């Protein structure tokens, strides 16, 4: 625990912001920069939210970091790209506004906080083959930041879903090489570079944080400098309305309901509803479970529910920032690079492949649910790997050649057998189908062309 909620709730301010992730902290910082009295209310005892748990990648074309690296191609190609991959699911005015004003947001964060971004080399757009897509990528990530700049407030940083050793900062540009494990020289060399970074930070008595943590810490420092209070354990319960206008919030704190009125406005920057089973079952495809998500335990949809009750419109509630996960005993593992490495395939309960395993994580989950909608069981799916794969690559936080923990077998996450028929029996799929699937895919591997799914 990090201690009490700190600070009394004000009766009235200019702007009330709900949620201490990157969205909420950025909004509060912007309001304060205009001289508005602002308070940020956070449900949990932590700041950072989903941002602190993320890889910290930001896709905002033509920002200062891309321009500095000579990698900006303006926004017209990006508009073409979003037109192609999003279309009218999101109104064009919103898509274009995002692209046109996004660089301005990045400039503001740079000018008002210690957060600094740089281009992630060769991290392609998720669908670079689409019109306007860029194979060299438009993603940027934050530079590592020393957590000591926020003092004791660092104890309130939202925990990541998997804990890394102190100062073990792996950047996105590092991860692409490290994920290849022992397959290339780049993997071990990059890992040595990460270890050197950690050693140097220790000698300097730094506490370095990267990825989403760096964004969260930098924004928290900015709020401290701007004098914006962040009040914890203040859970939004309702929006206060007057003549159809939102004029404040009701929050629960220490079992008591409080009202904080807003002279100028309320900004809801709180999280999603991945931890709310009732909302998942109401809005999203089946099957579903709160046990599959790597999202924050505090994301139970309170801000969304308050908005709906107040009459706000919602959209895209049936979709999500999806990603396949591996159900480890300690909790789900976000299955990212594991899926697209040689020597592996994913099969459904019929023992057949049903997608390009290297699809972006959101699209991969769409494929899983497409199968469920047609009655073909894709949940659960099984990732089939061989010994050569295991000896070469990282897997769910394990180094190459590192044995699977016994508890993973006991939990049922991992099954093994010396033959495909034996493995099929272990995972409950037809042996003939699994054997035929592997034989067909091996043929694609030899020819270099996946005729079924274009992997």
Provide the CATH number for the domain around residue 278.
Answer: 3.50.50.60
Domain shared by 199 and 227, yes or no:
no
Domain stops at, among 177, 206, 235:
206
Check whether residue 282 and residue 358 sit in a common domain.
no
**Residue 64: what pLDDT?**
98
User: Which class for 410: exposed (0-12), middle (13-18), buried (19 or more C-beta within 10 A)?
Assistant: exposed
Regarding whether 182 and 44 lie in a shared domain, the answer is no
Q: What confidence tens digit (pLDDT) does each residue in 375-406 have?
A: 778 999 999 999 999 999 989 989 899 999 99
Over residues 128-148, the mean pLDDT reads 95
**pLDDT for residue 190:** 75
The DSSP secondary structure of 357-395, one letter per residue, reads TTS-HHHHHHHHHHHHHTT---SS-EEEE-HHHHHHS-B
- pLDDT band at 182; cut points 50, 70, 90: low
Range of weakest confidence among 54-68, 72-86, 172-186, 329-343: 172-186
* Residue 277 domain flag: yes
Q: Are residues 192 and 231 in the same domain?
A: no
Q: Are 225 and 121 in contact (CB under 8 A)?
A: no
Domain end call among 283, 298, 320 = 320
Structure tokens, 376: 């073909």
- 144 and 223 belong to one structural domain: yes
Sign of CA dihedral 275, 56, 165, 392: positive
Q: Which of 118-127, 135-144, 325-334, 366-375 has the lowest mean pLDDT?
A: 366-375
Q: How many CA atoms lie within 13 A of 126 on its CB side?
A: 14
Select from 109, 156, 226, 120 the least CA-distant residue to 3: 156
Is there a single domain that holds both residue 301 and residue 331? no
Mean pLDDT of 10-20: 98
| Number of domains composing the chain | 3
Amino acid 238: pLDDT: 97
Range of weakest confidence among 30-39, 183-192, 255-264, 283-292:
183-192
What is the extent of the structural domain holding 201?
168-206
Residue 256 counted as domain residue: yes
Which residue shows structure tokens 């201690």?
Answer: 3
The answer to whether residue 92 is domain-embedded is: no
Query: Does residue 9 form part of some domain?
Result: yes
* Whether 286 and 427 share a structural domain: no
Tokens of 304: 């969304």
293, 333: one domain: no
Percent residues over pLDDT 70 in the chain: 96
The pLDDT of residue 301 is 97
d(CA 371, CA 351): 13
pLDDT of residue 165: 56
Q: List pLDDT tens digits, range 112-130.
A: 999 999 999 988 999 999 9
Same domain, 147 and 217: yes
Say if strands 12-18 and 38-41 run parallel, antiparallel, or are unpaired: parallel
289 domain residue, yes or no: yes
Q: Please report whether residue 316 resides in a domain.
A: yes
pLDDT at 166 over 90: no
Whose structure tokens read 């194979």? 135
Same domain for 227 and 283, yes or no, is yes
Residue 369: Cβ within 10 Å count: 19
**283 touches 248 (CB < 8 A):** no
CATH code of the domain in which 416 resides: 3.90.700.10
Q: What is the pLDDT of residue 207?
A: 85
Q: Is the model's pLDDT at 1 over the cut of 50? A: no
Is residue 55 in some structural domain? yes
Question: In sequence order, what are the residues at sequence separation of 6 or more whose Cβ sits closer than 8 angstroms to the Cβ of residue 389?
Answer: 341, 342, 343, 344
Q: What tens digit of pLDDT does each residue of 418-431 get?
A: 999 999 999 999 99
Kindly state whether residue 101 falls inside one of the protein's structural domains.
no
4 has a pLDDT exceeding 60: no
Is residue 296 domain-shared with residue 348, that is, in the same domain? no
Residues 146 and 214 placed together within one structural domain of the fold = yes
Report the percentage of the chain scoring pLDDT > 90.
Answer: 83
pLDDT of 168 = 67
């Amino acid at each position: 625990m990090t201690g009490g909620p700190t600070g009394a709730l004000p009766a009235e301010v200019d702007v009330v912001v709900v949620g201490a992730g990157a969205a909420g902290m950025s909004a509060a910082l912007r309001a304060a920069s205009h001289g508005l009295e602002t308070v940020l209310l956070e449900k949990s005892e932590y700041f950072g939210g989903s941002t602190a748990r993320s890889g910290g990648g930001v896709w905002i074309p033509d920002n200062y970091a891309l321009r500095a690296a000579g990698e900006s191609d303006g926004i017209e190609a990006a508009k073409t790209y979003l037109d192609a991959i999003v279309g009218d699911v999101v109104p064009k005015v919103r898509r274009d506004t995002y692209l046109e004003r996004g660089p301005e947001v990045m400039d503001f964060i740079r000018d008002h906080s210690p957060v600094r971004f740089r281009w992630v080399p060769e991290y392609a757009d998720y669908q670079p083959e689409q019109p306007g897509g860029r194979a060299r990528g438009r993603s940027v990530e934050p530079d590592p930041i020393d957590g000591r700049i926020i003092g004791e407030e660092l104890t309130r940083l939202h925990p990541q879903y998997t804990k890394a050793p102190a100062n073990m900062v792996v950047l996105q540009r590092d991860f692409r090489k490290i994920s290849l494990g022992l397959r290339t020289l780049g993997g071990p060399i990059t890992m040595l570079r990460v270890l050197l970074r950690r050693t140097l930070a220790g000698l300097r008595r730094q506490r370095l944080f990267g990825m989403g943590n760096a964004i969260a810490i930098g924004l928290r420092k900015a709020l401290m400098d701007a004098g914006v209070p962040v009040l914890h354990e203040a859970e939004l319960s309702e929006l206060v309305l007057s003549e159809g206008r939102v004029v404040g919030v009701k929050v629960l704190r220490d079992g008591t309901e409080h009202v904080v009125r807003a002279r100028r406005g309320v900004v809801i920057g709180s999280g999603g509803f991945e931890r709310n089973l009732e909302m998942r079952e109401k809005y999203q495809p089946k099957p579903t479970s709160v046990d599959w998500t790597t999202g924050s335990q505090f994301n139970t949809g309170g801000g969304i529910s308050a908005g709906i009750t107040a009459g706000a419109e919602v959209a895209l509630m049936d979709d999500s920032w999806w990603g396949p996960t591996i159900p480890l005993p300690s909790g789900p593992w976000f299955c990212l690079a594991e899926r697209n490495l040689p020597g592996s395939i994913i099969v459904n309960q019929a023992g057949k492949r049903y997608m390009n395993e290297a699809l972006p994580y959101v699209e991969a989950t769409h494929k899983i649910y497409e199968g469920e909608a047609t009655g073909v069981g894709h949940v659960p799916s099984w990732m089939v790997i061989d010994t050569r794969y295991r000896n070469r690559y990282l897997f769910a936080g394990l180094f190459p050649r590192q044995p699977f923990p016994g508890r993973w077998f006991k939990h049922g996450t991992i099954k093994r057998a010396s033959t495909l028929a034996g493995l099929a029996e272990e995972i409950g799929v037809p042996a003939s189908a699994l054997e035929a699937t592997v034989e067909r895919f091996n043929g694609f591997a030899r020819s270099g062309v996946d005729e079924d799914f274009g992997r």
